[in-house]
Amino acid sequence: MRRSTALSAVHRSLLVLALLGTCALAQAQTHTPPPANVVQLSASGFKEVQQDWLSMSLNTTKEGPDAGTVQNQLKVALDAALAVAKSTAVPQQMEVRTGQFSLYPRYSSSGKINGWQGSTEVVLEGRDFARISATAGKIQTLTMGNVGFSLSREAQQALESDVQAMAIERFQRRASEIAKGFGFTAYSLREIAISSADQGGGYVRPRVMAMEAKAAMSDAPIAVEAGKSMVNVTVSGSIQLR
């Protein structure tokens, strides 16, 4: 009985010592002074290049008394457009794909179906602007939809790599200048964050012809004008002056 009581007393003493040690450690951590000679800074790099990727959509809308009729009209228009487009398609220069396809009923004021309407789309895209615009002008079963310019994946990756390297070099140069300005000989990195933003400055002004004028302007290339894209990369963080 006495031995058990003695052991309990020992356990209580060890527990008290452990708690005191934990409190002391917490107080020491709480009162740790902030690091000295730490500087926050940021630097940016940016570059603007000509957009090299054109996307052009052509579409048509059909109406009819039943879904089958409308669907067949859309298929005929789509097949004819694809036959023209695929005959001049070249990988990366002009690629062809189908876009949105929709078919839905129309309702009368009484809530009953009184017809069907549908639309289909073909998208031409690539680097060869002349080939794309000329092909679009030859397609007679679809009319102009949307036109947009952007950077190709390869151009985008190359631009981001160049701009990031530029931003990092500017950050390093500025960090060295700050360290020297305060009388230090060197610095070490503490925290670094890199962010990027793409700004597409491109614009398009296609001379879109009306549907009824399409036939009169057969084979006429669609005039478009590319813009520019700019990538901005910012490197921010903190350095320890040494």
Q: What is the pLDDT of residues 54-84, one digit of tens each?
A: 999 999 999 999 999 999 999 999 999 999 9
Residues 229 and 118 in one domain: no
CATH of the domain at 235: 3.30.110
pTM for the full model? 0.66
* Residue 240 structural domain: 35-52+151-242
- Distances 93 to 163, 176, 227 between C-alpha atoms, Å: 26, 46, 18
Q: Angle 166-167-168 (CA atoms, 0-180°, nearest 5)?
A: 95
Q: In this predicted structure, what is the pLDDT of residue 205?
A: 41
Q: In this predicted structure, what is the pLDDT of residue 196?
A: 85
CATH of the domain at 73: 3.30.70.2970
The residue ranges of the chain whose pLDDT is under 70 are: 1-33, 199-220
DSSP state of 34: P
Residue 168 CB coordination number (10 Å): 16
Q: In this predicted structure, what is the pLDDT of residue 70?
A: 96
- List the structure tokens of 32: 């740790």
Residues 140 and 175 in one domain: no
Residues 42 and 67 in one domain: no
Residues 178 and 104 in one domain: no
Domain count for the chain, please give it. Answer: 3
Q: In this predicted structure, what is the pLDDT of residue 225?
A: 75
Q: Where are the beta strands (DSSP E) in the chain?
A: 38-50, 53-64, 95-107, 113-126, 143-150, 187-200, 228-241
Q: In this predicted structure, what is the pLDDT of residue 216?
A: 40
